[in-house]
Chains A and B, each alone.
Chain A
Amino acid sequence: MVENFSQEFEDTMKDMYLIFKIDEQNYGIEIKYVIEIIGLMPITYVPNQEEYVKGIINLRGKIIPVIDARMRLLKPQKEYNERTCVIVTSINQFLVGIIVDHVSEVVVIEKEKISPLPQTYEKIEERFFKGVANLNDKLILLVDCETFVRPDRLTAF
């Protein structure tokens, strides 16, 4: 019974992606990882972390780390503004917030429309992305949530 339910639940989320933007580039993140989207809130700096780990926030009593997608993708830093938001994701039951320029929409991208990244792409990006999709002439890079969020030096968390 429970199995059926979760199966169904998964089916409704299948092939759905949340689209967020950094500069003019669109990125897609599988909806099954996304818990909620919140506005930027005060971030407590945590010493001795990778640069892209901005710190931790208090999400209704839960303490979750936030990482800056911009810095994770080695893009130049930009001041946060009112459109900046945090995508709260749950990966292997760990909550992690991802700071992005802004989120735009939820779209369906069928498996057939996803193609692998071209060989010429830089190594670091190859790790972060599962593939690329062309939707209404917009190029969407699909984020591999697990490698994107996981610290580089740790193999498992």
Chain B
Amino acid sequence: MNEIQKDPMFEIFISEAKEIVNSLERTFIDLKENNISLDAVASEALRLFHTLKGSSAMMGFNNLSKVCHKAEDIFVGVRDRKMIPKDLDEFILNMLRLVDFLNCQIGCLEGSEKSASNDNIEDILTELSKSLHEFVDDVNKKETRYCIKLFFEEGWEMENLRAFLIVQNLKNYVKILEYQPSDIENNMQSAEKIKKDGFLIVIETPMKKEDVLKLFENFAWIKNIKLNETLEKSVQDKEEYSNQSYINYTNKLINVNIEKVDKLIDLIGEMVITFSMIVQHPEIKGDENSGIKNLTIQMSKLIRELQEVAMSMRMLPLSSTFQRLKRIIVEMSTKLQKPVEVYISGEETELDKVLIEHITDPLIHIVRNAIDHGIESQSERLQKGKSKVGNIYINAKNSGSEVIISIQDDGKGIDKEKIIKKALEKELISSADDISENELFDLIFLPGFSTKEETTEYSGRGVGLDVVKNSIQKIGGKIVIESSKDVGTKFTIKIPLTLAIIDGMLIDVNGNIFVLPLNSIVETFRLEKTQIISENGVPLIYRRGLCFNIVDLNRIFFTGNMLSEVKQYYLGILVTNGEKSAVLLVDNMISQQQIVIKTLPAILKKIKGISGCTLLGSGQIAFILDIDSLLER
């Protein structure tokens, strides 16, 4: 297994396979949403399964290719209208199960998932064929109209007669509706016209495009064929359009190993540092006249741009994540018989790839909750005077250096009474009176807190929202709930754009430089030692009517002694993580700059209060302060 994994071909296969499975999923969801006709789905799915079959056979994953082969058979049937799904919803659910199965198989191969899905592939396929029933009826075969434009090889002459020959020949196979120029038989002038504009034939036939093209293979003098299906219905319009978009999508992307991108970013980071060393070099710094200064300014602009481009390579749009959410909603709403309309906006918003991986599971969880707990059953909704169909809005947008994702439903909202009752039961709160709405909603993020009386397949096991909150906090994000009864619930998640770069304030503590994330700073002020009150050894400070804990960085990281005798005043920095605040004591503020985060070497013991380190322009190493753990002290 290990040997296979090292193979670059294997990596390519895995990423290609994942892409194919994603496209399959997207295709089936589109079918569900009626964006695309069954025919188009069948040929798209056929194409995808065929590719997957080929590449997995090549890699020697015979199981996978066998599955694809069977799926291919089914879709050939669907495409040729020999099989028609009995119940389209059922069919789509089965297809989605198949997609899950493939995903799981690929995950196994990759080694990211430990065991194969228990779903037996044979079961899925038989169920699938059951939901299709044989349907052979030639009359019902749809005739497609094709518009064919022919260009002839130059120098053969008598184009009109050759065109006429083609028409006569075609008549044996297809119905010819018209051709242009139409007077080829007796007007010699039409030859010139054909030379210039080509020869146009409109035919009608149940044949596939490829088969039609084959008809023309016998005519040696044809230089160029353009074949278009003429569009009859609007559905086909869409079909054409979406086919187009798939093709564009795949053409614009290349797969690059993320390690290469990271390496690139590292190298650029080093380049930035080296360049600033050049600029700081006394010989260059002192030289005002030789024009080197202008060049360095230009160079630094270029480097900055290069850095931005490299960083953006790690960014991916949220569309595929949202696609998965949509898919889950579609699946669940069919199973639970709660029709739901999904509105997605801002899916083009980009986020660091690593961050996307971290938020996908929490988002899925929230969406499941929304359908399972949030959206009421159809009858309940009608009673409340709401529309029968539930609505879920998924939105993403950029806001400064953050991305805000919100998931909103118009369901029954969170029952505050139930939470209070449960919290009292579990002795999480002492009384129901003095608790704010925010604090109340925070309670449901506690482990083991679920208000749903019985558990279902999807949610209510009490494992959940605490995990959601944890994983979002882990990547430096925040989650907020708003909810009102019978109006709905809204989850808002704020996450930093990227993990790799932050805006930081450089501070000096005992001659060592630390980086303080800029977004955690509230204010800075000069602080006389006499202002510090020590109560039972806990240093505090009053400021604007509020009392703050004091965090002496020098004591924590270096000496261990409280407040050195020599210094009369410090610089106080009021920091907050949204919940708690404290004042940090530092010696000096140096400057504000963007820094590239690096992790500390793994063999070092974890240091409370430090989240990583960075390299400064001088090549010096500075630690990045972790505000959350500092505030917990």
Q: Say whether B601 contacts A47, CB under 8 Å.
A: no
When each residue 29-66 of chain A gets 1 if its CB lies under 8 Å from chain B and 0 otherwise, what string results? 00000000000001011111110010011101101110
- Knowing that A64-B601, A151-B603 touch, tell me 8 more A-B residue pairs with CB under 8 angstroms: A46-B600, A47-B610, A48-B607, A49-B607, A58-B619, A63-B598, A94-B601, A96-B601
Q: Say whether A58 contacts B512, CB under 8 Å.
A: no
Question: Within 8 Å of chain A (Cβ to Cβ): is B270?
Answer: yes
Which residues of chain B have C-beta atoms less than 8 A from A58's C-beta? Answer: 615, 619-621
* B573 smallest CB distance to A (angstroms): 19
Q: Known: A47-B557, A61-B270, A61-B615. Contact between A56 and B605, CB under 8 A?
A: no
Question: Within 8 Å of chain B (Cβ to Cβ): is A127?
Answer: no
* B178 smallest CB distance to A (angstroms): 63
Q: Say whether A63 contacts B603, CB under 8 Å.
A: no
Question: Within 8 Å of chain B (Cβ to Cβ): is A95?
Answer: yes
The A-contacting residues of B in range 582-633, CB under 8 angstroms, are 598, 600-605, 607-608, 610, 613, 615, 619-621, 623
Q: Say whether B557 contacts A65, CB under 8 Å.
A: no
**Cα distance A56–B598 in the bound complex, in angstroms:** 12
Question: Within 8 Å of chain B (Cβ to Cβ): is A149?
Answer: yes
* B306 smallest CB distance to A (angstroms): 16
For residue A48, which residue of chain B has the nearest CB? Answer: B607
Question: Within 8 Å of chain B (Cβ to Cβ): is A5?
Answer: no
Q: Say whether A61 contacts B269, CB under 8 Å.
A: yes
The 8 closest A-B pairs by CB, nearest first: A61-B270, A47-B557, A44-B621, A65-B601, A48-B607, A157-B603, A157-B602, A58-B621
A residues engaging B (CB < 8 A)?
42, 44-50, 53, 56-58, 60-61, 63-65, 94-96, 149-151, 153-154, 157
For residue A66, which residue of chain B has the nearest CB? Answer: B601
For residue B271, which residue of chain A has the nearest CB? Answer: A61
**Cα distance A42–B615 in the bound complex, in angstroms:** 13
Q: Say whether A48 contacts B621, CB under 8 Å.
A: no
Which residues of chain B have C-beta atoms less than 8 A from A63's C-beta? Answer: 598, 600-601, 613, 615, 621
Q: Say whether A151 contacts B273, CB under 8 Å.
A: no
Which residues of chain A have C-beta atoms less than 8 A from B556's C-beta? Answer: 47
Which residues of chain B have C-beta atoms less than 8 A from A149's C-beta? Answer: 603
For residue B267, which residue of chain A has the nearest CB? Answer: A61
Q: Known: A53-B604, A96-B603. Contact between A42 and B620, CB under 8 A?
A: yes
Q: Say whether A45 contacts B512, CB under 8 Å.
A: yes
Question: Within 8 Å of chain A (Cβ to Cβ): is B558?
Answer: yes
Interface centre among A44, A57, A153 (most CB of B within 10 A): A44
The 22 sampled A-B contact pairs (Cβ below 8 Å) are A45-B512, A46-B604, A47-B556, A47-B610, A56-B601, A56-B613, A57-B621, A58-B619, A60-B270, A61-B266, A61-B270, A63-B598, A63-B601, A63-B615, A63-B621, A64-B601, A65-B601, A94-B602, A94-B603, A150-B603, A151-B605, A153-B605
Q: Say whether B604 contacts A49, CB under 8 Å.
A: yes
* B255 smallest CB distance to A (angstroms): 22
B residues engaging A (CB < 8 A)?
266-267, 269-270, 273, 512, 556-558, 598, 600-605, 607-608, 610, 613, 615, 619-621, 623
For residue B3, which residue of chain A has the nearest CB? Answer: A3
* B462 smallest CB distance to A (angstroms): 33
**Cα distance A139–B610 in the bound complex, in angstroms:** 43
**Cα distance A50–B603 in the bound complex, in angstroms:** 11
Interface centre among B266, B270, B558, B604 (most CB of A within 10 A): B604
Q: Say whether B558 contacts A47, CB under 8 Å.
A: yes
* B590 smallest CB distance to A (angstroms): 16
**Cα distance A65–B613 in the bound complex, in angstroms:** 12
**Cα distance A53–B607 in the bound complex, in angstroms:** 13
For residue B604, which residue of chain A has the nearest CB? Answer: A65
Which residues of chain A have C-beta atoms less than 8 A from B621's C-beta? Answer: 44, 56-58, 63
For residue A64, which residue of chain B has the nearest CB? Answer: B601
* A127 smallest CB distance to B (angstroms): 16
Which residues of chain B have C-beta atoms less than 8 A from A47's C-beta? Answer: 556-558, 607, 610
**Cα distance A56–B619 in the bound complex, in angstroms:** 12
**Cα distance A131–B621 in the bound complex, in angstroms:** 38
**Cα distance A36–B477 in the bound complex, in angstroms:** 41
Q: Say whether A65 contacts B603, CB under 8 Å.
A: yes
Interface centre among B556, B557, B602, B607 (most CB of A within 10 A): B602
Q: Say whether A56 contacts B604, CB under 8 Å.
A: yes
**Cα distance A57–B556 in the bound complex, in angstroms:** 22
* A129 smallest CB distance to B (angstroms): 20
Interface centre among A42, A57, A61, A154 (most CB of B within 10 A): A61
Q: Say whether A49 contacts B605, CB under 8 Å.
A: yes
Q: Say whether A50 contacts B270, CB under 8 Å.
A: no
Which residues of chain A have C-beta atoms less than 8 A from B266's C-beta? Answer: 61
* B11 smallest CB distance to A (angstroms): 15
**Cα distance A128–B552 in the bound complex, in angstroms:** 38
**Cα distance A149–B602 in the bound complex, in angstroms:** 12
**Cα distance A151–B601 in the bound complex, in angstroms:** 12
For residue A53, which residue of chain B has the nearest CB? Answer: B604
* A14 smallest CB distance to B (angstroms): 23
For residue B601, which residue of chain A has the nearest CB? Answer: A65
For residue A42, which residue of chain B has the nearest CB? Answer: B620
* A2 smallest CB distance to B (angstroms): 8
**Cα distance A32–B477 in the bound complex, in angstroms:** 43
Q: Say whether B605 contacts A48, CB under 8 Å.
A: yes
Which residues of chain A have C-beta atoms less than 8 A from B620's C-beta? Answer: 42, 44, 58
* A137 smallest CB distance to B (angstroms): 36
Which residues of chain B have C-beta atoms less than 8 A from A44's C-beta? Answer: 512, 613, 620-621
For residue B616, which residue of chain A has the nearest CB? Answer: A58
**Cα distance A49–B607 in the bound complex, in angstroms:** 8
Which residues of chain A have C-beta atoms less than 8 A from B615's C-beta? Answer: 58, 61, 63
**Cα distance A60–B267 in the bound complex, in angstroms:** 10
Q: Say whether A61 contacts B273, CB under 8 Å.
A: yes
Which residues of chain A have C-beta atoms less than 8 A from B598's C-beta? Answer: 63
Which residues of chain A have C-beta atoms less than 8 A from B619's C-beta? Answer: 58
Interface centre among B266, B605, B608, B613 (most CB of A within 10 A): B605
**Cα distance A157–B620 in the bound complex, in angstroms:** 26
Which residues of chain A have C-beta atoms less than 8 A from B608's C-beta? Answer: 48
Which residues of chain B have C-beta atoms less than 8 A from A154's C-beta? Answer: 603
* B471 smallest CB distance to A (angstroms): 24
Which residues of chain B have C-beta atoms less than 8 A from A53's C-beta? Answer: 604
Which residues of chain A have C-beta atoms less than 8 A from B605's C-beta? Answer: 48-50, 151, 153
Interface centre among A50, A57, A65 (most CB of B within 10 A): A65
**Cα distance A44–B615 in the bound complex, in angstroms:** 11
For residue B613, which residue of chain A has the nearest CB? Answer: A63
Which residues of chain A have C-beta atoms less than 8 A from B603's C-beta? Answer: 65, 94, 96, 149-151, 154, 157
Which residues of chain B have C-beta atoms less than 8 A from A50's C-beta? Answer: 605
* A91 smallest CB distance to B (angstroms): 9
* B50 smallest CB distance to A (angstroms): 33
**Cα distance A79–B323 in the bound complex, in angstroms:** 62
Interface centre among B556, B558, B601, B610 (most CB of A within 10 A): B601
